Structures are given as structure tokens and as C-alpha cells.
């Protein structure tokens, strides 16, 4: 059952939505396409992919307590028979979007979209008393988005959906499923630049999110972005309601004052330009540290206002935020040689802008020990990989790191550039090592951590640096 105590879907409603045939009457409380995630009462979509076929796991989902399955061939157990299970998942998503009157917010951007999505959910859920819904994890692609929509209860007041892409045209498809009332672009950066001819092309692809906006929908865009005019032009083709956020005086939602908050984070005074009810000033705390999180918070406040949410409650929620696994969560780790160190887990992803922001935050950290960075290569940069990995060296030096562990082939460019900077400019010599993978990285960094040190771990997900985090946090090193 859902939080409201009603079935998420009945078999008859599912069959009607997907134009399928139900073998029996049943109710479901959840939806999944990964058989390993099936719990009691869930609906399983047996999707067929290039490497796997969900129909092979139907028996497993019934054994796990699954209530039913959507299949393209008859099976033993409650099911709904369709001709194409992937199309059926999209059809159920469309039906879910249409059956309620929730205000829907779509979030995209090269950096910050998952954190913004989670923070926006917290901001709206606080006042709606549990009647908000969001996509979980990073379910932001052609399968994750319809799954997240299908999981939205009919009685929700707000739905927040993350949408990602690494090729042109992908967001256009996703946003037409979501049909957001509000669409946010957090920032534009050279993430996935290997798939695009330019960062301008990335901005154009991100701006596809506006194509799904509902009538009178609102586009929220970063005023400080170098691609602001490009984004605004794209948004204006889809809506007349455009709200900007940032640090410039001309931004509609802007930070007037930022001071360090006790215990970390930032105390922000924001000005919200007249939206028909007069200008407003708002003072709130952002628990997560860094200027990039202040920017995210401004976008969140713009969205909360656009859907008629409670700004005061949103401010309280931002003050209570905790970092996400792989995206800024802080751990105090007990060291085998005694004492404790702080581990900042940014292991989920990395691109040139997020690397710069995170290393910039490390530079501002107060640390009684030494600063250590374990940095993995940045993926999908194409022929720009050498340029961006070389440029990373300057940010590493500026961070104040005294021990530097680099992981992955492309980090050879960073290592060479670091050596040159150290020889030419520094009066001290940080310890630098370059290793192939996560196992070697763990062995290298484990012997370097001392009491009161701070360790930043960040890199592209394919390198598996989350394993290093788990080992250090669990004392398995």
C-alpha cells in the first residue's frame, strides 16, 4: 500500500493504461523493472534489453512476493499481457501523470541535478506532510523516468523528476512524458562533451526540457551561466514564464548576502523579485557547504514559489539537509592507528565543473590535519580529455591538498601537469601517486590518513571509487 493507505495501481487500471489483458484481479503497492528490487506487493515489468530479458526472472519475482507482472508472453502467475513491455511502461507513466493534479517539477543540468531534486523533494515534502514524490537514486533516463512516474501515487501534491541525457534528443522525449509545470536547469558544464561538438550544443540539449512544459509552465534558468541567453531563447519558445536565479543583481531570485553558517554550510539572504505579490526577502540556511549549493538553493526557492509551496518550510528543510551517498556525504572514520578523519564522499560522478567546485570547497575547509584528495578520471570528455585533466591540476594545487592520489589512465595528464607546477611554482612538494584502479587507490590512501585529516574522494562512477569509500567507512582496509 502507498502512504495514503490505498493501492498504487489495480490490475484493471494497469490493463486499461497499457492496453493489455489482465489474467487476474490484483493490486500493487510498487513498480520495478529490476527483479532484485522486487518486494511484497510490487509490479514487475519484464523488459527486454540487448543483454537481458526480464521474462527470465518472473519466477523469482513471484517468489519474492511480487503481486503481478507486465509481460509480452504468458507466464504462470498474475500478469498483464502486452505486445511490448517497454511501451507499456511508458504508457503507465503517461496514465500516472494524467490521473492526478500534482504540480510536477522537472530537473536537469550538467551538475547538481540529483542533489537539487532531493533537496526540492525535502523542501516540498515538509509542508505537504508526505504528499510529495520524486524519482529515486539517479533514475533519470529512458527507463528510469517512466518508472519513477509510474510509482507516483494518485494523491500527491508534488512530483519531482530528474532527467538526464548524454545525447541530443533524449531530454525531448523524457520531458514529454513528465510534462512538467516547472522545468529547472541547474547549470551547464562540459559533462558528456565527448558526445557533443561544443558546450553550446550541450546547453541546447539541456534546454529540450522546456519542450514538455505544460500550458503556463515556468522555466527556471541560471542567470550567471555563460549560456544564459541561449537558454532563455530556448525557454521563450515554450513559455512566457521565465524565472532566473543566481548571484547577479538582475536575477529574479538572487543571493544578496552569504555568510558561513555555524557547523558548516551557508546562511543566505535572498531577494525574490515581484511575481505579482510583491518583492520578498528570505533568510535561510543551506546545510551543504559551497557556493554551488547556494546556487542550487536559489533554484529550489524559485521552484517552490512557482508551484505555490511554502517558502518558510523550504528554508527549514534546506537547513536540515544531509549529503547524499556519492554526492557529498561526510563520514567520520575511525583510523586503525588511532584518531578520526573526515571523509567527503563525492565518488558517484565527476566532470570539470563539479571537480572545480568540490576542490574549491576543500580549499575553504578548516583542517587541523592535512588535506588528501583521491581523484578519479573524468569520463566522456572525448578529444577534450587531455585539456580538462591538465586544467584540473591547478584546482588541486589551489585546494591545499598535501597528498594526491590519482586514479585512471587520463589522470596521467594531471600528474604530468602537477609535476610541472610543483617544480616551477611551489615551495613545498605534495606527495603524488597515480594508480590504475580502486583497489590500488585504497591501498595507497589507507596508509596516508592520520588523525584530523580530511579526505576527498571524487571521480567518475565507472572507476568504482565507492568501493574505497565503503572500505574506509567500514574499517575494511
- CATH number reported for the structural domain that contains residue 28 in this entry: 3.40.1390.10
197 and 305 in a common domain: yes
Judged against a pLDDT cut of 80, whether residue 53 lies above it is answered with yes
Q: Is residue 1 one of the residues assigned to a domain?
A: no
Q: Is residue 359 one of the residues assigned to a domain?
A: yes
403 and 279 in a common domain: no
113 and 68 in a common domain: no
Judged against a pLDDT cut of 80, whether residue 409 lies above it is answered with yes
Q: Is residue 150 one of the residues assigned to a domain?
A: yes
Question: Where does 220-333 have alpha helices with state H?
Answer: 228-236, 291-306, 311-319
Instruction: Say which residues have a Cβ less than 8 Å from residue 270's Cβ, sequence separation at least 6.
Output: 253, 254, 255, 256, 281, 282, 283, 284, 298, 301
Judged against a pLDDT cut of 80, whether residue 138 lies above it is answered with no
Instruction: Say which residues have a Cβ less than 8 Å from residue 229's Cβ, sequence separation at least 6.
Output: none
Taking only the tens place, the pLDDT of each residue in 417-428 is 999 999 988 778
Judged against a pLDDT cut of 80, whether residue 2 lies above it is answered with no
pLDDT confidence of residue 427: 77
146 and 114 in a common domain: yes
pLDDT confidence of residue 263: 77
DSSP state for residue 341 in the 8-state scheme: E
Name the domain count of the chain.
3
270 and 169 in a common domain: yes
Prediction pTM value: 0.89
370 and 258 in a common domain: no
Q: What mean pLDDT comes out for the span 322-331?
A: 89
Using pLDDT thresholds of 50, 70 and 90, give the confidence band for residue 3.
very low
pLDDT confidence of residue 5: 56
164 and 241 in a common domain: yes
**Domain containing residue 164: CATH number:** 3.40.1190.10
- Give the range among 243-257, 275-289, 353-367 with minimum mean pLDDT: 275-289
Burial class (CB in 10 A: 0-12, 13-18, 19+), 267: middle
Average pLDDT, the chain: 94
Judged against a pLDDT cut of 70, whether residue 1 lies above it is answered with no
Half-sphere CA count of 403, side-chain side, radius 13 A: 18
Residue 447 is part of which domain span? 329-473
**Domain containing residue 351: CATH number:** 3.90.190.20
Q: Is residue 2 one of the residues assigned to a domain?
A: no
Phi, psi for residue 216 in degrees, rounded to 5: 70, 20
389 and 248 in a common domain: no
pLDDT confidence of residue 322: 85
109 and 13 in a common domain: no
Q: Is residue 269 one of the residues assigned to a domain?
A: yes
- Give the range among 26-30, 277-281, 311-315 with minimum mean pLDDT: 277-281
Q: What mean pLDDT comes out for the span 100-128?
A: 96
Q: What mean pLDDT comes out for the span 198-202?
A: 97
458 and 407 in a common domain: yes
292 and 184 in a common domain: yes
Boundary residue ending a domain (297, 319, 341): 319
Boundary residue ending a domain (38, 65, 89): 89
Boundary residue ending a domain (89, 120, 143): 89
Q: Which residue has the cell 526540457?
A: 209
In the sheet where 30-32 sits, what is the strand order?
A: 21-22, 79-81, 68-71, 42-45, 30-32
Q: Is residue 378 one of the residues assigned to a domain?
A: yes
Closest-CA residue to 189 (of 115, 251, 112): 112
Taking only the tens place, the pLDDT of each residue in 140-186 is 999 999 999 999 999 999 999 999 998 999 999 999 999 999 999 99
Judged against a pLDDT cut of 70, whether residue 270 lies above it is answered with yes
Tell me if 359 sits within 8 A of 395, measured CB to CB.
yes
Q: Is residue 251 one of the residues assigned to a domain?
A: yes
Q: Is residue 94 one of the residues assigned to a domain?
A: no
274 and 341 in a common domain: no
Amino acid at each position: 500500500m502507498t502512504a495514503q493507505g490505498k493501492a498504487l495501481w489495480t490490475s484493471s487500471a494497469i490493463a486499461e493504461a497499457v492496453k493489455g489483458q489482465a489474467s487476474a484481479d490484483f493490486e500493487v503497492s510498487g513498480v520495478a523493472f529490476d527483479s532484485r528490487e522486487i518486494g511484497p506487493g510490487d509490479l514487475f515489468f519484464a523488459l527486454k534489453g540487448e543483454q537481458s530479458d526480464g521474462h527470465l526472472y518472473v519466477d523469482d519475482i513471484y517468489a519474492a512476493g511480487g503481486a503481478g507482472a507486465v509481460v509480452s508472453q504468458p507466464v504462470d502467475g498474475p500478469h498483464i499481457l502486452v505486445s511490448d513491455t517497454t511501451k507499456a511502461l511508458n504508457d503507465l507513466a503517461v496514465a500516472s501523470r494524467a490521473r492526478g493534479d500534482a504540480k510536477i517539477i522537472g530537473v536537469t543540468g550538467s551538475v547538481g541535478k540529483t542533489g537539487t531534486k532531493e533537496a526540492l523533494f525535502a523542501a516540498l515534502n515538509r509542508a505537504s506532510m508526505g504528499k510529495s514524490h520524486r524519482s529515486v537514486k539517479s533514475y533519470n533516463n529512458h527507463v528510469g523516468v517512466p518508472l519513477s512516474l509510474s510509482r507516483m501515487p494518485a494523491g500527491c501534491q508534488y512530483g519531482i523528476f530528474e532527467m538526464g541525457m548524454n545525447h541530443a534528443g533524449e531530454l525531448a522525449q523524457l520531458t514529454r512524458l513528465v510534462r512538467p509545470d516547472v522545468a529547472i536547469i541547474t547549470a551547464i558544464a562540459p559533462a558528456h562533451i565527448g558526445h557533443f561538438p561544443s558546450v553550446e550544443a550541450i546547453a541546447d540539449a539541456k534546454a529540450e526540457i522546456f519542450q514538455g512544459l505544460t500550458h503556463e509552465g515556468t522555466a527556471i534558468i541560471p542567470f550567471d551561466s555563460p549560456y544564459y541567453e541561449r537558454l532563455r531563447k530556448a525557454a521563450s519558445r515554450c513559455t512566457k514564464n521565465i524565472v532566473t536565479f543566481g548571484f547577479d543583481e538582475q536575477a529574479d531570485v538572487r543571493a544578496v548576502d552569504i555568510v558561513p553558517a555555524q557547523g558548516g554550510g551557508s546562511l543566505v539572504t535572498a531577494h525574490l523579485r515581484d511575481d505579482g505579490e510583491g518583492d520578498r526577502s528570505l533568510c535561510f540556511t543551506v546545510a551543504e557547504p559551497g557556493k554551488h549549493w547556494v546556487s542550487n538553493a536559489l533554484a529550489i526557492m524559485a521552484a517552490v514559489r512557482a508551484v505555490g509551496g511554502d517558502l518558510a518550510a523550504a528554508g527549514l528543510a534546506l537547513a536540515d539537509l544531509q549529503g547524499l551517498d556519492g554526492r557529498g556525504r561526510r563520514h567520520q572514520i575511525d583510523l586503525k592507528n588511532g584518531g578520526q578523519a573526515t571523509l567527503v564522499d563525492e565518488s558517484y560522478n565527476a566532470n570539470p565543473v563539479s571537480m572545480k567546485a568540490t576542490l574549491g570547497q576543500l580549499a575553504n575547509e578548516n583542517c587541523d590535519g592535512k588535506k588528501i584528495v583521491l581523484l578519479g578520471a573524468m569520463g566522456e570528455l572525448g578529444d577534450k580529455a587531455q585539456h580538462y585533466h591538465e586544467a584540473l591540476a591547478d584546482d588541486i594545487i589551489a585546494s591545499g591538498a598535501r597528498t594526491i592520489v590519482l586514479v585512471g589512465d587520463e589522470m596521467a595528464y594531471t600528474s604530468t601537469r602537477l609535476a610541472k607546477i610543483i617544480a616551477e611554482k611551489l615551495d613545498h612538494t605534495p606527495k603524488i601517486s597515480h594508480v590504475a584502479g580502486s583497489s590500488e587507490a585504497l591501498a595507497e590512501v589507507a596508509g596516508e590518513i592520520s588523525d584530523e585529516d580530511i579526505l576527498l574522494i571524487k571521480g567518475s562512477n565507472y572507476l568504482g571509487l565507492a568501493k574505497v569509500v565503503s572500505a574506509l567507512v567500514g574499517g575494511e582496509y
